[in-house]
A = this chain, B = another copy of it.
Amino acid sequence: MQFSSKLIEEAVEAFSSLPGIGRKTALRLVLHMVQQPGETVDAFASALTKMRSGIQECEQCHNLSDDKLCTVCKDDRRNPQLVCVVENIRDVMAIEETGQYRGRYHVLGGVISPIEGIGPAELNIDSLVGRIDERGIKEVIMAISPTIEGDTTIFYITKQLAALDVKVSTIARGVSFGGELEYADGLTLGRSIVARIPYKVD
């Protein structure tokens, strides 16, 4: 791509360094910005720099937060004895979105993956164990992706928690609500038959 302007070229380079944004999309975004008032672009840039400089990890659950404690950890109405363990902040958002969970979280920052060089030491596992020990947490829900790495992580954490008086559960796995049975993958469908649930009439 040939640019008649060095400024445009640098802005395109900046955008195309973002994941999933190629040079053509980057150019489209930059040309959009050229047409915006200067203040709009300044506000855009300042939202990013402010975010990056102000954002921190919640010191209790490692969720992203504006303060030392995140909004979930600060909320006294939430059950402090129930902790949901997730991989990242996107999972926190997905669970919050459901409106079905009223406990706290613990963000691991990933799952154990020897191929990517991520061992237990790279994740927030020690702080989880310490937190459960110190704060008398009664139940830990593992909301980790059902992959080999995820299962390994759950297994590792459960071992670490064995000495403590805490109940460990995982989120239910089975066919999705609203999904057609014939399109469910074989593994999920097979396991959902093995792990069938007694049917209750309310």
Report A's interface with B, CB cutoff 8 A.
Answer: 1-8, 10-11, 13-14, 17-21, 25, 27-34, 36, 38, 41-55, 63-66, 70-72, 88-90, 92-93, 96-97
Q: Judge whether B31 and A41 touch: CB under 8 Å.
A: no
Contact A97 to B7, CB < 8 A, known contacts A14-B47, A25-B20, A29-B19: no
- Name A4's contact: one of B20, B51, B64 (CB within 8 Å): B64
Among the interface residues A2, A5, A10, which one has the most CB atoms of the partner chain B within 10 A?
A5
Cβ contact of A52, chosen from B20, B38, B54, cutoff 8 A = B38
Give the top 10 A-B pairs by smallest Cβ distance, nearest first.
Answer: A45-B45, A41-B52, A11-B51, A14-B47, A7-B51, A2-B96, A14-B44, A45-B49, A10-B47, A4-B71
Residues on the B chain within 8 Å of A96, using CB:
2, 4
- Residues B93 and A7 in contact, CB atoms below 8 Å apart: no
In the complex, A64 Cα to B10 Cα: how many Å? Answer: 14
Please report the C-alpha to C-alpha distance between residue A34 and residue B19 in the assembled complex, in whole angstroms: 13
